[in-house]
Chain A
Amino acid sequence: MLLAIDFALIIEKLVLIIIVVMASLVIAMYATYGERKIAAVLQDRRGPNRAGPFGILQPLADGLKLFFKEDIIPDFSSKFLFILGPSLAMLTAIMTSAIVPWGDKVHLFGRDISLQIADINVGILYVFAVVSMGVYGIMIGSWASNNKFSLMGGLRAASQIISYELAMGITIIALLMVTGTLSLKEMVLQQQAGYWNIVYQPLGFLLFLICAFAECNRAPFDLSEAESELIGGYHTEYSSMKLGFYLFSEYINMFISSVIMATLFFGGYDIPFVNEADYNQNLMAGLGVLALMAKVVCFIFLFMWVRWTIPRFRYDQLMNLGWRILIPISLFNMLVTGAIILLKQNNWHF
């Protein structure tokens, strides 16, 4: 039969999608709790500790509160776009998780199940495409609000993301020259066999990290939100769960970019100093997922740590940093990487 549909595959992927989406939502939820708790301990406070033991029910309470709030759509707003904005922000935030290799293959029910929803050969380009879509959510929402503060926030977000995406892209080119593949799965396999990419691209990682902060609109690059200057920036007019979506997508973005950084530079689900092939396949796959999550938690902590340390950049400082420092450095990084690869191909030894 030509059109034989592998139903088991469809079910397998569906289950995987549901698990991944749910996991990212729950992690994003608890990232809000973590954010408040970390902010608190960094400022000698206690943080949320009323709802449940250690306040662990706080995110649920926050979510419930957002749902019960009155949903206001301003009269002068463009209604369709106003609703489209947060939906798009949320959608693009979740979509990125499709190509992340969460772990190695699991052997279940006589099938080898890959813990990756889609291993597409343009992997990292897909991430870029989707992440740059994310800014449309902010832009559309801010435009539709018909509010000058929102619009200002949206403009800032757009120009910021364009500026930093350039540096990020050039950094990725250098990384691709090292790995020779776009597929995230392939990259992880390479790092499992050899060294993590951070060894080859330390400067590249630093640049990527800075750009990731900017892409996530996190402090010190949260100019689009900038509550002290722009009230709430792009989400000034939003309320109820639409606001919740915006805030939530920020945390999902943070989670996903942590995953991407861990995958690109820190070996993804690779457990350091352990040869995975020596042990039980399912056990190692599970431990691999945990290893990835541990790396991600470290990155999320870094995100929050930076947010509660560094004040926001001024707009011209932001542009200066992006165009006059990060892009030249990333170009330099690319050139050096290229030169070294070229020399190696010509049998130079270091």
Chain B
Amino acid sequence: MQALTNRVKQVDRRKMNFLEKLYLVAIFKGMLITFSHIFKKKPTINYPEKTRPFSPVFRGLHILNRDEEGRENCTACGLCAVACPAEAITMEAAERQTGEENLYREEKYAAKYEINMLRCIFCGLCEEACPKDAIYLSETFAPADYQRKQFIYKKEELLIPHPLEAPDAYKKALGNRVKRENIN
């Protein structure tokens, strides 16, 4: 029969002689093989301490963005909620009062903004839909909690740290992720 690959090994069906019946040679060979594995590189990564590098288009948990002065970008237009195929986003709009100009960039803002992370499929359509660059997906992932209701992320969990008050945390939250439209 013709072999499909060059890795074919013919099965040896002759009777074992006395030395082979003792298995000792075979056992010794096997032990050398296992011993050689001691010096092999281990593929495991010590996960919580070390992580694998992500692809630049990785889509993790959402972040609500602020501008350089720390004002929220979101205007509660609802385009992200419309774009969301999993219907995971809900929001309530409110009007900016005088004196709140340092909090919100435009006259309208999201008073309530919730994403149900159990419904979300991390497709990134909200990010594409947003005209104000207010929502994007971060490199954070694998949230864990004891209760389902904890997975409905409120504004407190979603909002990026203040760029002026906590610049390090802000940088970290931004991550190395590249937005999809910038790649093309």
A277 at the interface (CB under 8 A from B): no
Nearest CB on B from A187, distance (A): 26
Category for how many chain B residues contact A = 10 to 19
| B181 CB, nearest partner CB in chain A, Å | 41
Let me know if A325 and B34 touch, CB within 8 A: no
| Beta-carbon contact of B37 and A43 below 8 Å | yes
Q: Considering the chains assembled together, what is the distance between the CA atoms of A41 and B34 in angstroms?
A: 9
Tell yes or no: B42 within 8 A of A by CB: yes
Q: Is the CB of B30 within 8 A of A309?
A: yes
- Chain B residues with CB under 8 A of A310: 27, 30-31
Residues of B within 8 A of A42 (CB): 34-35, 37-38
Contact A49 B42, CB 8 Å, known A308-B34, A310-B30, A325-B22: no
Q: Is the CB of A305 within 8 A of B34?
A: yes
Question: Could you tell me the dominant secondary structure of chain A's interface residues?
Answer: loop
Interface centre among A42, A206, A305, A308 (most CB of B within 10 A): A42
Minimum distance in angstroms from A334 CB to a CB of chain B: 18
Chain B CB within 8 A of A45 CB: yes
- A305 to B37, Cβ gap below 8 A? no
Find out whether the CB atom of B38 lies under 8 angstroms from the CB atom of A41: yes
- Is A344 in contact with chain B by the CB < 8 A criterion? no
Tell whether, in the assembled complex, residue B46 and residue A49 are in contact, meaning their CB atoms are under 8 Å apart. yes
B15 is an interface residue with CB less than 8 A from chain A? no
Is B21 located at the chain interface by the 8 A CB criterion? yes
Residues on B lying within 8 angstroms of A by beta carbon are: 21-22, 24, 27, 30-31, 33-35, 37-38, 40-44, 46
Flag whether A65 is at the interface (Cβ < 8 A): no
Smallest CB separation, B161 vs chain A (Å) = 30
Chain B residues lying within 8 Å of A206, measured Cβ to Cβ, are 24
B40 touches A306 (CB 8 A): no
How many pairs, one residue from A and one from B, have CB atoms within 8 Å of each other in the complex?
Answer: 36
- Given the complex, which residues of A lie within 8 Å of B22, measured CB to CB? 325
A305 touches B44 (CB 8 A): no
CB pair B31 A309 closer than 8 Å: yes
Closest-CB distance, B17 to chain A (whole angstroms): 13
Sample (13) of A-B pairs whose CB atoms are under 8 Å apart: A41-B38, A41-B42, A42-B34, A42-B35, A43-B37, A44-B42, A46-B44, A49-B46, A206-B24, A305-B35, A306-B27, A309-B27, A309-B34
Given contacts A42-B37, A44-B40, list 11 more A-B pairs with CB under 8 A: A41-B37, A41-B38, A41-B42, A42-B35, A44-B37, A45-B42, A46-B44, A306-B27, A306-B31, A309-B31, A310-B27
3 A-B pairs with least C-beta separation: A309-B34, A42-B34, A309-B31
- Which of these, B21, B27, B33, contacts A325 with CB under 8 Å? B21
A305 to B27 CA separation, bound complex (whole angstroms): 11
CB contacts (< 8 Å) of B27 on chain A: these are 306, 309-310
Residue from A41, A305, A306 whose CB has the most chain B CB atoms within 10 Å? A41
Report the minimal beta-carbon distance from B45 to chain A, rounded to whole angstroms: 10
CA distance A307 to B21 in the complex (A): 20
Inter-chain contact B31/A305, CB cutoff 8 Å: yes
Chain A residues lying within 8 Å of B38, measured Cβ to Cβ, are 41-42
Chain B positions within 8 Å of A305 at CB level: 31, 34-35
List A contacts of B33 (CB < 8 A). Answer: 309
Bound form: Cα–Cα A42–B41 in Å: 11
Assess the B46–A46 pair: CB atoms within 8 A. Answer: yes
Which residues 22-57 of A have a CB within 8 angstroms of B?
41-46, 49
B residues near A44, Cβ cutoff 8 Å: 37, 40-43
Given A41-B37, A325-B21, A325-B22: A46 and B42 interface contact (C-beta under 8 Å): yes
Tell me the minimal C-beta distance from B34 to chain A in angstroms: 4
Closest-by-CB residue of B relative to A320 is: B21
A305 to B95, CA, bound (A): 72
Instruction: Find chain B residues with CB under 8 A from A43 CB.
Output: 37
> Bound complex: CA of A45 vs CA of B21, how far in Å?
32
A325: chain B residues at CB < 8 Å are 21-22
Instruction: Kindly provide the distance from the CB of A48 to the nearest chain B CB, expressed in whole angstroms.
Output: 12
The docked-state distance in angstroms from the alpha carbon of A306 to that of B24 is 12
B-side contacts of A306, CB under 8 Å:
27, 31
Cβ contact within 8 Å between A45 and B44:
yes
Q: Whose C-beta in chain B lies nearest to the C-beta of A41?
A: B38
* Min CB gap A292→B, angstroms: 24
For A41, what are the chain B residues with a Cβ–Cβ distance below 8 Å?
37-38, 42
State in angstroms the CA–CA spacing of A49 and B50 once bound together. Answer: 14
Q: CA of A251 to CA of B22 in the docked complex: distance in angstroms? A: 27
CB distance from A184 to the nearest CB of B (A): 28
B42 partner residues in chain A, CB cutoff 8 A: 41, 44-46
**Shortest Cβ distance from A41 into chain B, in angstroms?**
5
- Give the residues from 274 to 320 in chain A that come closer than 8 angstroms, CB to CB, to chain B: 305-306, 308-310
Once the chains are docked, how many angstroms separate the CA of A309 from the CA of B41?
19
Q: Which residue of B lies closest to A324 (CB)?
A: B21
Name which residue of chain B comes closest to A311, CB basis: B30
Give Cα distance in the complex from A42 to B21, angstroms. 26
